[in-house]
Structure 1
Amino acid sequence: IAVVDEGPAEAVLDALVRTGAAFLRTGRSRVSQAAELAGLPGADAVVSVFVDDVEEAVAAVGAGAGDLLLRGWDTERLGHLRDALGGSLLERTAVPPGVDLDAARRAFDRTLLAAYLDQIDGSGAARPRTGWAPGKDLPIPKPPGRFSAQWTDPAWTSATASATEPAADLAGILDRSLEGTPPTRAEVRRLFESRGAEVEAIAGVADVLRRRANGDVVTYVVNRNINYTNQCYFRCGFCAFSKGPRSLDLRGDPYLLEVHEVAARAREAADAGATEVCLQGGIHPEFTGDFYVSVVEAVRAAAPGLHIHGFTPLEVWQGAETAGVTVPDFLRTLAAAGLGTLPGTAAEILDDRVRRHLCPDKITTAEWAYVMTHAHRLGLRSTATIMFGHIDGPGAWAEHVEVIRRIQRDTGGFTEFVPLPFVHMGAPIYLRGRARPGPTWDEVVLMHAVSRIAFDGLIPNIQVSWVKLGLPGAASLLEAGCNDLGGTLMDENISRAAGASHGQMAGPEQLEESIRSVGRVPQQRTTLYGRVAATRGV
């Protein structure tokens, strides 16, 4: 709601307070008086004013305006305004940034909510109009020489825009990070809320920390993904892979591989030079703990030298429950059968305020942490992931990071952190108009760079997913804190089902070419980051 500043001040103030308006729209000559009204206790509004040029805009901001209405401004003039304001310029939609998503769900009908979510980023500001999204076969939208794609004016895209120093609070966080003091949860959130030139500064610090931890070596693993079923009785809104009687969107044919088929594919992978097989799938209604144990035993028998990286905390929880044993006892059984490590998926966002909308019947944050903590204590190491860019935002991301840090400080069991950008095109929650179309490019950069900063000294490896971002996108993030390109995969079905178009396999030669394209040194690794002496093909 916007209240127009017309008539007696008392009447304007009464309308402002009783409507709960977000904006007080005034004329250029009345900005300071309007700012006085809007700043009174109980009148939580921003002064909004039309301006026609940069000089008027700067004067209005100096007088107390916080919202500029710009008619017909081209990108070049917007760039001049950004520089004149020291970089503090942010486009909004009809709704002010920072509106709680629960409030939007209550206020908007289905059509309006879908339109609103299509227009915003994780902070509720207007998202760039590039058309790019994770999984789409489009060039990454950032200009050469930049990390941030927030601006499209000539000065920004040619990397000649005047440099602005980071705000004092951000500069302090980055300086302390370089000195070895990790950011607090609140500071992690502040990092995630950064924009434009701040994104550039954060990426630069992340890359310094990457170089200190890993040098110029970028690793990858030769592996095969085996998704043994796409049938699942859970109803995760983001998942376009699962098929089942309770799934949100039944498309495609359901399948279930027999145990001997899983073992045969593992043998094929080993024969082709893979050092790892990754086992994951839907939670089939007929699965019990015995199924997971039998798969591990069969793979171990078929390919004794292959590292088995398998079963999310959700699968472990369900396996233990159906076997009638405790989670630690079930993990012991899996380890005895030959399980080597666990993937850190099923984490999505480790904030139950988000999970109750995104994956309401899945294990909770505490249950995910319980499985991982006990796995680590038993000597089963794991990865950690975050799936972001849907109905989450900086607050939830910071909460997720803090959960992972707490576990890692206790156990030291995470080998790597893997940001997974939400691929929206086939996701049921997006198709129903209840999620954003993935993260923006700047949010992708921030997630990887902030992860490097937040986990410095705790988790040495930050992986970028070429399946979600394509090889060019992944390669660019090797300069923003990442040191691992993941695996060759051979058969990757989950991202493809969600609409990703970046392929189901990348050979070692392709990965190494991408690594060298940014001046880094490729190195094949094992699951636990041991070096493989000679690169092996697939």
Structure 2
Amino acid sequence: MTVTNDSALTQWLLDAPLMELMPRAERSRDEGHGRLMSYSRKVFIPLTHLCRDVCHYCTFAQRPRAGKAAYLSPDDVLSIARAGAAAGCTEALFTLGDKPELRYHAARDALAALGHETTIGYLEAMCALVLRETGLLPHANPGLMSREEIAGLRTVTASQGIMLESLSERLCEPGGVHYGSPDKRPQLRLDTLRLAGELQVPFTTGILIGIGETRRERLDALCAIREIHAEYGHVQEVIVQNFRAKPGTKRANAAEPDLDDLLWTVAAARLILGSEMNIQAPPNLSPGVFPRLIAAGINDWGGVSPVTPDHVNPEAPWPAIVELARQTADAGKLLVNRLPVYPSYARSSEIWLAPEVASRVLRMSDAEGLARDDDWAPGSLVSPRMPAILARSVDPAVDRIIAKAVGGDRLEEPEIVRLFATRDADFERVTFAADELRQAVSGDTIRYVVNRNINYTNICYYRCQFCAFSKGKKHEALRGAPYDLALEEIVRRAVEAWDRGATELCLQGGIHPEYTGETYLGICRAIKTAVPGMHIHAFSPLEVTQGAATLGLSVRSFLAALKTAGLGTLPGTAAEILDDEVRAKICPDKLTTAEWLDVARAAHGLGLRTTSTIMYGHLEQSSSWAKHLLALRDLQKETGGFTEFVPLPFVHMEAPMYLRGRARRGPTFREAVLMHAVARLTLHPGITNIQTSWVKMGPQGAAACLKAGANDLGGTLMNESISRAAGTEHGQEFPPEAMEQLIRSLGRQPEQRSTSYGPVMTERRQASMRAAVLAPVILTPPRKLAVVG
């Protein structure tokens, strides 16, 4: 059925049988939301039960009573909020009556005692208190609001809402359920909805069915919501709530809408509001029929509290979240926890949220804008846990993408994004397929290299927003003091590393303002003179570019000079995210994507192989991950010069942009495992080695990645400075014995390798297994440099 206007659509919806509407609504929902069914884990804070309205179905609103506080005190509010935070909630849902101070002296007196003139003024203060003290994100439903009130609440809430309920003016006349309720006039509620749009507030609204309205009036209300949303784009969810008769109200004996009526309204809402809209039906008001509601087109269960009852419908208990997840999975969908602000608004928080709220949302969300699903973070000692698997089937689209990747075909960006979004059984399928491909390509051997990291200076004139390692020449904030290693110390460490069985030195540092290309050339010559057999794996594309510029050489000419001086391979760091929109935010003065790729291309052309990396989990999204992987795949097809791909999850603890509230807490564990698995699939067959970073993932996390497509455990490192500066707690060395023990615990075979994935001599392996304790390192203070020749 194709309709050209609201009148035709309304008539078709009124005439079409339910069994025709539901499949259409279900298909529309799947187009916009796929397999995901969301909910918000919330705590319910009834700030006041006083209300100036007298809706004939409501038991929430109460009159003032002697001995009963008119409002929750700040201590009461915090007590409820803290219980919610302890139970893993992310949302503090404030419910309250409409402007009771306009009706009751008791409300005015109570507000005055609390230091406020209006209920909404007190609400704003309590939202600020909860946000500041507990970190929960407030969502406020205070009824009608002025522009100033919405704007004030916007500074301390993640979202706001007002139920439109109905557009029927009849319901406000004598005998109607809204008679005597001045705040329920439809136009006034539409005005609030429109003001929220003008102020760019993520907003919740909806309709209440079965209160005396007609089906046509329901459709009129839905069309009005759609019209306002089309203008402002701020309606983040529409609730279809079914009336429940409650004892003690004027409608205690009124008939409730039956299931078919509810299903019809849900399906109609989906077909009017479109595939992208979030449509919700409260699960506690319709127990036992969850599959039918899903089949009618909802994609959200609303707020579900593990702590507090539904104070508006106290007779209807919340379903247990584990049971809701099971029933959702039984219906072929995957339950995901969202924040009170929906993902599309969370991902554009600079538009939709006040700065303090945006920072909290960023820290609480994953790359898709949903709530983080674990407490793990890269570099932390929190034990990671694999996601639970409840679904009984895998999305056929995921299987099709996997088959394409395994066949060696280039995936498109949306296909890669889909793989990164997998959860539950789909996640399990992706990781299993990646590990099967790993076994086919690399067998059961897991390789590692015995190496030493030497970060020769932490002085850097770049100001990358993610870096806790670099210092200005006089800057001693964050971890450690500025240093600039003397050449003698670099050589001493190189000799010591060789004595301990190392085959590789990995050298990188800050971009020191006094370094020139001769500095880098001199380092290579000194190491090769002292330890001729040592492989030098050094200098990111950024250092190469800077060194070339200081000597007036082309990148290719400088790389050739480095090779002559002893450089063996280059680390593919300084890539961060190969997406210039993201780079403009996190490292605006650094190389562009094209410049980074050009350095790698030039190195490959000279026979200098490089690694490739990604730093992920800060402020980017999975579309950026996809762009990055495709850029690497395409260059590998052109040059064949990448030896491996190394995912580097963002370590947030000391990172400046995290401390300023501008980054997430790194990837979730699910995302980190997926980065390895999706990389294996996307980069096949060009890049055959996928490495996992033990210093960021930790041994347990690295083990999980080795079962999800990775085949390399990286280097033993001996000294690790950059991740330690960022806050990782996983140590500075992973000795060969420990690496091999971990590898064997997975039923795999360990093998020491060279930097370029060749075998190592028996003498080197034996030396690595009887390594002496490292001597203390010397961090040479900053000094005026002489040119190193």
* TM, length-normalised to structure 1: 0.92
Distance 1:77 1:43 in 2: 27
Aligned to 2:660: 432
Which of 300, 309, 316 is the aligned partner of 1:67? 300
Distance 1:43 1:385 in 2: 37
| Bigger shift: residues 526-535 or 396-405 | 526-535
5 Å-filtered alignment, 1:454-473, equals 454-473=682-701
Return closer, same or farther for 1:110/1:4 CA change in 2, 3 Å cut-off: same
Q: CA deviation at 1:405?
A: 0.7
Larger radius of gyration: 2
Q: CA deviation at 1:223?
A: 0.2
Aligned to 2:365: 120
5 Å-filtered alignment, 1:207-222, equals 207-222=435-450
- Whether the 8 Å contact between 1:249 and 1:428 is mirrored in structure 2 is no
Distance 2:704 2:730 in 1: 16
* Structure 2 spans left out of the alignment, 5+ residues: 1-202, 243-260, 307-318, 772-789
Q: Counterpart of 1:135 in structure 2: which amino acid?
A: G
| Bigger shift: residues 247-256 or 324-333 | 247-256
Percentage of pairs with the same residue: 46
Name the Cα RMSD after superposition. Answer: 2.0
Matched, 1:86 2:332: yes
Return closer, same or farther for 1:329/1:54 CA change in 2, 3 Å cut-off: farther
* Structure 1 spans left out of the alignment, 5+ residues: 143-148
Aligned to 2:84: none
SS of 1:229's partner is coil
- Whether the 8 Å contact between 2:454 and 2:507 is mirrored in structure 1 is yes
Distance 2:351 2:479 in 1: 30
Matched, 1:256 2:484: yes
| Bigger shift: residues 56-65 or 426-435 | 56-65
Which of 225, 244, 247 is the aligned partner of 1:15? 225
Aligned to 1:288: 516
Q: Counterpart of 1:94 in structure 2: which amino acid?
A: P
Aligned to 2:239: 25
Q: Counterpart of 2:572 in structure 1: which amino acid?
A: G
Distance 2:320 2:503 in 1: 53
Task: Select the structure with the greater relative contact order (CA < 8 A; seq sep ≥ 6).
Answer: 1
Q: CA deviation at 1:271?
A: 1.5
| Bigger shift: residues 462-471 or 71-80 | 71-80
5 Å-filtered alignment, 1:80-479, equals 80-99=326-345, 101=347, 103-128=348-373, 130-142=374-386, 149=387, 151=388, 156=389, 161=390, 164-244=392-472, 251-479=479-707
Q: CA deviation at 1:105?
A: 1.3
Q: Counterpart of 1:48 in structure 2: which amino acid?
A: Q
Return closer, same or farther for 1:246/1:407 CA change in 2, 3 Å cut-off: farther
Return closer, same or farther for 1:51/1:365 CA change in 2, 3 Å cut-off: same
Distance 2:468 2:604 in 1: 30
User: 1:20-47 CA deviation, whole Å, 9 max, x = no partner?
Assistant: 3121111145453354345337895221
SS of 1:372's partner is helix
Q: Counterpart of 1:92 in structure 2: which amino acid?
A: R
Distance 1:488 1:410 in 2: 31
Distance 1:350 1:248 in 2: 30
Distance 2:403 2:594 in 1: 33
Distance 1:202 1:278 in 2: 33
Q: CA deviation at 1:112?
A: 0.4
Return closer, same or farther for 1:374/1:54 CA change in 2, 3 Å cut-off: farther
Q: Counterpart of 1:22 in structure 2: which amino acid?
A: Q
Distance 2:287 2:331 in 1: 9
Distance 1:132 1:386 in 2: 20
Return closer, same or farther for 1:372/1:484 CA change in 2, 3 Å cut-off: same
Distance 1:249 1:38 in 2: 54
Q: CA deviation at 1:16?
A: 3.7
Q: CA deviation at 1:74?
A: 3.1
Distance 2:672 2:276 in 1: 32
Return closer, same or farther for 1:43/1:305 CA change in 2, 3 Å cut-off: closer
Q: How many residues align structurally?
A: 520
SS of 2:280's partner is strand
- Whether the 8 Å contact between 2:384 and 2:669 is mirrored in structure 1 is yes
Distance 1:283 1:385 in 2: 19
User: 1:354-400 CA deviation, whole Å, 9 max, x = no partner?
Assistant: 11111111111000001000000010000000111111121000000
Distance 1:324 1:376 in 2: 21
| Bigger shift: residues 371-380 or 133-142 | 133-142
SS of 1:252's partner is coil
| Bigger shift: residues 472-481 or 3-12 | 3-12
SS of 2:336's partner is coil
User: 1:76-103 CA deviation, whole Å, 9 max, x = no partner?
Assistant: 31332232222432221112223473x3
User: 1:38-60 CA deviation, whole Å, 9 max, x = no partner?
Assistant: 53378952211211266332222
Return closer, same or farther for 1:185/1:125 CA change in 2, 3 Å cut-off: same
Aligned to 2:283: 51
Q: Counterpart of 1:312 in structure 2: which amino acid?
A: S
